[in-house]
Structure formats: C-alpha cells, structure tokens
C-alpha cells in the first residue's frame, strides 16, 4: 500500500495503537427512514389539498396560479414574481440549479444561423453581433444531448421535448440576456429562430426551460452526482479499512448506496415518478444517461478546469463559480496535506497496488473505460492523486448541493421549470399563442407528482453533516487534526463571505454556503 518510510511517517503523526474500527453507514437508520417517509406523506397531502392529483391539462392560467401560488420559500416567491423576465431567465444559467452548462461563444455553430439583423434590436446601436462575439460577450447554451431522445406518455397523452440552442448576451449593465432561441438542432422553415419581442418568445423560453430541466435532472444531477458517487463508493469499499484513501473518503460516501436504491425503487422503476412527471420517462432517462456517460469528461468535474474550458471566469454575478472555486481550493489544500502524510514521494503513489486497482475500477465502471473522458486509469504521482481525490470529495458534497438543494425553489412555480411539455414545439412565430402556451404546460397530475418529489429531496433528512464535519473520523492523530482544523477554518471564512454577499442580493445564492453543503450524497 505504501513504503516503509511512509508507514513510519504515519506512525509518527497519528495516535498510537490500531485505528478505530468504524463500519461504513450504508443504509439509513430507522429514525432517518421514518422522517423521510413522514416528509413524503406530508408532501402528498399538500399536493392533494392543492388539487394537483387529477387532470391532464389546465383550464386557464388563473387555475395554474390558484394551485401553485404561495406559500413558498423566499426564492420560490422571487421566481414567481420574475419568471417571465429575460434577465432572470439568463441569471438562472449562472446561479440556478444547473449552473455548469453555459459556454462562451466565440463562433456560432453552423446549425444556428443567427444573423446581424436578428439581434441588432437586442444589442442596440454602436455594436454588432460580430463585435460582441469578438469581445467575449456572447454565450451559448446547447442542448444537443437531448436530440432524438424517446419521450414518454402521461395519462394517455404523448409528451414532447426539444433540443434547443440559446444565445445569450452579457449587456453593458452586466446582465445575461437571451437574444436568440432555436428549438431544434436543425435550422429550416419548421425550426425558426425566436427573438425577444416576438409573439413566440415566451413559449420559446418555456421550451428551453423544459430542456434545461431534463438535462439537469438526468445528467448533471443523476449521472454526475448519484451514479458517479456510487461508482466511487463501490471501489472505495473494496479498499482495506486501513488504507488512507478509504479513511479519507468514507464520510463522503455515507448513505449514498441507500439513497440510490430508493431512487431505483421509486423514481426509475417502470411507472415511477420519472414516468409520471417527465417528458423522457424511464426509457428516455436511461438513454440520456448512456449519452451523458459517453460525453462525460474528467475536466468538467474539476472546477478550475471546467471554468477555464467553458470560458466563464469573468462573468459578473456568477455566484456558483465563485463559491465552487473557493470550496474546491479548501478541499484541495486539505487533501494535499493528508496525501503528504501517507505518500512521501510520487513513486509511492505509483507503487501502491491497492490504490491503482481502486482508480482502475473507477475508470472501468464509472466511465466504462472511455479513454476520451480524460479520467485516469492509473495515478503516477501525488499531484494526480490530490486532484482525483479533490474531485471525488467535491462531487460528493458541494457539486451535489449546487444541483440538488435549489430544486424546489426554482420548480415550485412550475412554468419556470416544467418537467414535461404536452404539445410539439411551435413551427412558426405566428402559431405561438397564449392558448398554446397554456396547453403546452404539464398538467396538474404531472405537476403534482414532480413537486411532491422535489419538496422532499431538496432538503437534507435526518442528522445534517456539513462539509468538514468528519464525525468519528478514521484519520486520527495530531497532524490530521491540524489539517482538519485548517480546513474548517477555511470553510468558515467562505461561509462568512457568502453570507455577507447574500445579505446584499435580491436573489441570494445559498446553496454553496459551506454550512449548507452536506459532506455526502445522502438525499
């Protein structure tokens, strides 16, 4: 596992005697299960009281408001007031529940023929599409991964999904505004480009939000969070308890198996909530997860690499980026210190057979041996090990918090985040009427099923264990305790900064405040 010199170093920096034996907590304790069941039952009662357990369509938009308006959370109430505004639509790419999609657009893709005259009214005088693109002020949200997915049937009615392209512009006032939307990957007469002020603009934004929901839930959340964490957990459980990687990662894998089993039993099962409430249903979800696995890269899970690769390091008001970079840095510093206690040289990492089998198993089963993913199949030195461990801890804590904790906040007002859509995308601006928008919305029954779920899973159940807790830590000794104290102090400083910033914001971003970040995927 490690050289004699490293073992001697370990003995010098940890408590005498064998390490404490701590059985991994694989399943929820009884109290946790009871609390989760009670919350689910209460959610079902609330949904029934709102009249969201029957009906495939809405009679009027007033019915939608009567069923969904308050009382909600402070953020969901903000969403209700601002969901139709272009500025809020753009802001959700930065600090909503899928804040890792947007990319700087240096060149328009050939299948998105936006012209200068199309966007001139949005950009205003004195500039042009080309000038704004060269200045790095245009950004793209591309939902190509959704193209051609099978869609489901809810209550005997077919459901629909688009694979849009959305162009956004960073205005001189620092607002990210949508300026052009195409609802398919294939331009042409039946796939127009919708523009602000046009008759179909509100409906086009609704289709983007529907696509955003599906990509977020099935790829960013389910695949990158729950399923990858399960691969990390299985491989880590195979390591000896005394191995430092097992000791380091164990708190970050708490309850991951159990919550994933519950997801398979109640969400992904035939006829489960994904079939009841989403456009793609179970069949489309499995197909999308397969596509997402093939497209997954190591760099997109490493925050500094991801920010650089997407070209989003200088967008103002990108609270996810700021908080994620800070937390990544804190985790990295802590991991670097722990690794140094057990591996004095790079060669000791390369020669640790148990470690190499562990990373090889994650490569084989986590990304299916895809070399194009950039995931390592072996670790040759300490920097590689530190980065890989930092990625795992971040994904099992902060990244999951960012894509999970705000789900109910942003979806409680369903027109902002529809789980499915009931009419095909409009083929022209003229056909995009308010009546079509109402008929396109998911019906009361599908809305109720989704909101009942999100009102439960958006909040941690049982005993909260924020990042840095490391209750009953296996890494005993003076040196690990010093490193943990420094880690906690750094997290406390981030908490103070986030709280001060949020106090000054009309729409706060609380999801990566370290005290709100659980150290494992347990919900």
Instruction: Give the DSSP H or E segment for 391.
Output: helix 382-394
Write the burial class of residue 120 (CB in 10 Å: 0-12 exposed, 13-18 middle, 19+ buried): middle
Range of the domain at 253: 4-11+33-101+216-421+444-516
Task: Give residue 463's pLDDT.
Answer: 79
- C-alpha 95: how far from its chain's center? 11
User: 110 in a domain, yes or no?
Assistant: no
Write the burial class of residue 118 (CB in 10 Å: 0-12 exposed, 13-18 middle, 19+ buried): middle
pLDDT at 23 over 60: no
Question: Where would I find the beta strands (DSSP E) of 366-423?
Answer: none
User: 20 in a domain, yes or no?
Assistant: no
Task: Give residue 476's pLDDT.
Answer: 87
User: 472 in a domain, yes or no?
Assistant: yes
How would you classify the pairing of strands 165-170 and 153-154? unpaired
How far apart (Å, rounded) are the C-alpha atoms in residues 303 and 325? 6
Task: Give residue 2's pLDDT.
Answer: 44
For 80-106, how does the pLDDT look when each residue is reduced to its tens digit (9 = 90+)?
999 999 999 999 999 999 999 999 999
Query: To the nearest 5 percent, what fractions of the chain are helix, strand and coil?
Result: 55, 5, 40
Concatenating the DSSP letter of every residue in 97-165 gives S-TT--EE-SS--TT----HHHHHHHH-TT--HHHHHHTT-EEEEE-GGGTT----EETTEE-B----E
Answer for the pair 228, 220: CB distance below 8 angstroms, yes or no: no
User: 426 in a domain, yes or no?
Assistant: no
More confident residue, 283 or 33: 283
Question: Percentage of the chain with pLDDT > 70?
Answer: 90
For 428-466, how does the pLDDT look when each residue is reduced to its tens digit (9 = 90+)?
998 988 899 999 999 999 999 999 899 888 887 677 899
Task: Give residue 489's pLDDT.
Answer: 98
Positive/negative CA dihedral, 219, 223, 224, 226: positive
Indicate which CATH number applies to the domain containing 314.
1.20.245.10
Number of independent structural domains in the chain: 1
How far apart (Å, rounded) are the C-alpha atoms in residues 482 and 338? 10
Answer for the pair 207, 183: CB distance below 8 angstroms, yes or no: yes
pLDDT at 341 over 50: yes
Kindly calculate the radius of gyration of the chain based on its CA atoms and give it in whole angstroms: 24
In which band, very low, low, confident or very high, does the pLDDT at 5 lie, cut at 50, 70 and 90? very low
CB atoms within 10 A of CB 119: 22
pLDDT at 21 over 90: no
Bridge partners (DSSP) listed for residue 157: 154
Task: Give residue 327's pLDDT.
Answer: 98
pTM value is 0.93
How much is the average pLDDT of 283-307? 98
Lowest mean pLDDT among 176-185, 252-261, 351-360: 252-261
How much is the average pLDDT of 30-52? 63
pLDDT at 11 over 60: no
Answer for the pair 367, 293: CB distance below 8 angstroms, yes or no: yes
More confident residue, 429 or 42: 429
Contacts of residue 290, Cβ cutoff 8 Å, sequence gap at least 6? none
How far apart (Å, rounded) are the C-alpha atoms in residues 383 and 358? 17
pLDDT at 52 over 80: no
Contacts of residue 193, Cβ cutoff 8 Å, sequence gap at least 6? 112, 113, 114, 118, 180, 181, 182, 187
pLDDT at 185 over 70: yes
How much is the average pLDDT of 372-400? 98
Answer for the pair 44, 452: CB distance below 8 angstroms, yes or no: yes
How far apart (Å, rounded) are the C-alpha atoms in residues 218 and 284? 9
Task: Please confirm whether the linkage preceding 71 is cis (ω < 30° from 0).
Answer: yes
Contacts of residue 491, Cβ cutoff 8 Å, sequence gap at least 6? 327, 330, 467, 468, 514
Residue for token pair 């753009």 = 90
How much is the average pLDDT of 241-258? 95
Answer for the pair 444, 67: CB distance below 8 angstroms, yes or no: yes
Task: Give residue 40's pLDDT.
Answer: 64
How much is the average pLDDT of 4-14? 37
Answer for the pair 13, 446: CB distance below 8 angstroms, yes or no: no
Lowest mean pLDDT among 54-63, 310-319, 342-351, 379-388: 54-63
Instruction: Give the DSSP H or E segment for 48.
Output: helix 30-49
Task: Give residue 216's pLDDT.
Answer: 98
Task: Give residue 6's pLDDT.
Answer: 41
| CB half-sphere exposure, 196, CA atoms < 13 A | 20
How much is the average pLDDT of 25-44? 65
In which band, very low, low, confident or very high, does the pLDDT at 214 lie, cut at 50, 70 and 90? very high
Task: Give residue 471's pLDDT.
Answer: 80
CA distance to 103, 221, 300, 498, per residue, from 307 (Å): 9, 18, 8, 19
How far apart (Å, rounded) are the C-alpha atoms in residues 111 and 188? 9
- The DSSP code for 521 is -
How far apart (Å, rounded) are the C-alpha atoms in residues 31 and 11? 38
How far apart (Å, rounded) are the C-alpha atoms in residues 160 and 153? 9
In which band, very low, low, confident or very high, does the pLDDT at 30 lie, cut at 50, 70 and 90? low
pLDDT at 48 over 80: no
In which band, very low, low, confident or very high, does the pLDDT at 57 lie, cut at 50, 70 and 90? confident
How far apart (Å, rounded) are the C-alpha atoms in residues 263 and 252? 19
- The DSSP code for 176 is E
How much is the average pLDDT of 361-370? 98
Question: Percentage of the chain with pLDDT > 90?
Answer: 82
272: tokens are 């489960």
How far apart (Å, rounded) are the C-alpha atoms in residues 2 and 477? 18
Bridge partners (DSSP) listed for residue 104: 139
Alpha helices in 180-227 (DSSP H): 201-215
User: 431 in a domain, yes or no?
Assistant: no
User: 107 in a domain, yes or no?
Assistant: no
Lowest mean pLDDT among 74-78, 112-116, 300-304, 468-472: 468-472
In which band, very low, low, confident or very high, does the pLDDT at 411 lie, cut at 50, 70 and 90? very high
Task: Give residue 41's pLDDT.
Answer: 63
| CB half-sphere exposure, 408, CA atoms < 13 A | 19
pLDDT at 20 over 90: no
Bridge partners (DSSP) listed for residue 182: 165, 193
pLDDT at 19 over 90: no
User: 291 in a domain, yes or no?
Assistant: yes
Phi (first) and psi of residue 433, to 5 degrees? -90, 170
Task: Give residue 458's pLDDT.
Answer: 83
CB atoms within 10 A of CB 171: 17
User: 181 in a domain, yes or no?
Assistant: no
Task: Give residue 14's pLDDT.
Answer: 37
Task: Give residue 54's pLDDT.
Answer: 66
């Amino acid at each position: 596992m490690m050289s004699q010199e490293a073992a001697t170093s370990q003995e010098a920096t940890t408590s005498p005697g064998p390490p404490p034996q701590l059985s991994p907590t694989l399943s929820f304790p009884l109290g946790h299960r009871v609390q989760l069941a009670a919350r689910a039952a209460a959610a079902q009662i609330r949904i029934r009281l709102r009249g969201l357990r029957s009906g495939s369509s809405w009679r009027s938009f007033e019915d939608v408001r009567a069923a969904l308006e308050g009382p909600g959370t402070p953020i969901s109430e903000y969403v209700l007031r601002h969901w139709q505004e272009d500025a809020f639509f753009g802001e959700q790419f930065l600090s909503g529940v899928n804040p890792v999609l947007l990319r700087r657009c240096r060149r328009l893709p050939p299948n998105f023929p936006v012209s200068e005259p199309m966007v001139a009214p949005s950009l205003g005088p004195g500039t042009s599409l080309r000038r704004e693109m060269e200045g790095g002020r245009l950004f793209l949200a591309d939902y190509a991964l959704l193209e051609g997915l099978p869609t489901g049937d809810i209550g005997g009615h077919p459901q629909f999904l688009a694979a849009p392209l959305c162009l956004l512009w960073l205005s001189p006032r620092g607002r990210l505004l949508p300026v052009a939307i195409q609802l398919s990957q294939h331009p042409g007469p039946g796939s127009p480009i919708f523009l602000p002020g046009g008759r179909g603009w509100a409906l086009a934004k609704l289709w983007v939000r529907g696509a955003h929901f599906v990509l977020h839930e099935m790829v960013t959340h389910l695949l990158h969070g729950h399923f990858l964490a399960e691969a990390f957990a299985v491989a880590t459980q195979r390591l000896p308890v005394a191995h430092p990687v097992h000791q380091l990662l164990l708190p970050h894998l708490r309850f991951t198996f159990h919550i994933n089993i519950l997801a398979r039993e109640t969400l992904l099962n035939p006829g489960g909530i994904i079939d009841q409430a989403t456009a793609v249903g179970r069949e489309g979800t499995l197909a999308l997860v397969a596509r997402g696995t093939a497209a997954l890269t190591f760099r997109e899970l490493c925050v500094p690499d991801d920010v650089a690769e997407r070209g989003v390091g200088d967008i103002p008001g990108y609270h996810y980026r700021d908080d994620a970079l800070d937390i990544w840095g804190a985790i990295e510093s802590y991991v670097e210190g722990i690794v140094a206690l057990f591996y004095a040289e790079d060669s000791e990492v390369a020669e640790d057979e148990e470690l190499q089998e562990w990373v090889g198993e994650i490569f084989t089963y986590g990304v299916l041996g895809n070399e194009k993913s950039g995931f390592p199949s072996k670790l040759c030195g300490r920097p590689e090990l530190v980065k890989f461990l930092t990625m795992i801890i971040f994904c099992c804590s902060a990244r999951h918090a960012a894509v999970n904790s705000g789900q109910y906040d942003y979806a409680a007002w369903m027109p902002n985040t529809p789980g499915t859509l009931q009419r095909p995308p409009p083929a022209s601006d003229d056909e995009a009427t308010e009546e079509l928008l109402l008929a396109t919305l998911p019906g009361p029954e599908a809305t109720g099923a989704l909101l009942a779920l999100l009102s439960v899973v958006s909040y941690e159940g049982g005993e909260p264990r924020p990042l840095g807790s490391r209750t009953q830590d296996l890494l005993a000794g003076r040196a690990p305790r010093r490193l943990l104290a420094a880690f906690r102090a750094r997290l406390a400083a981030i908490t103070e900064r986030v709280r001060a910033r949020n106090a000054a914001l009309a729409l706060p971003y609380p999801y990566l405040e370290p005290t709100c970040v659980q150290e494992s995927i347990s919900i």
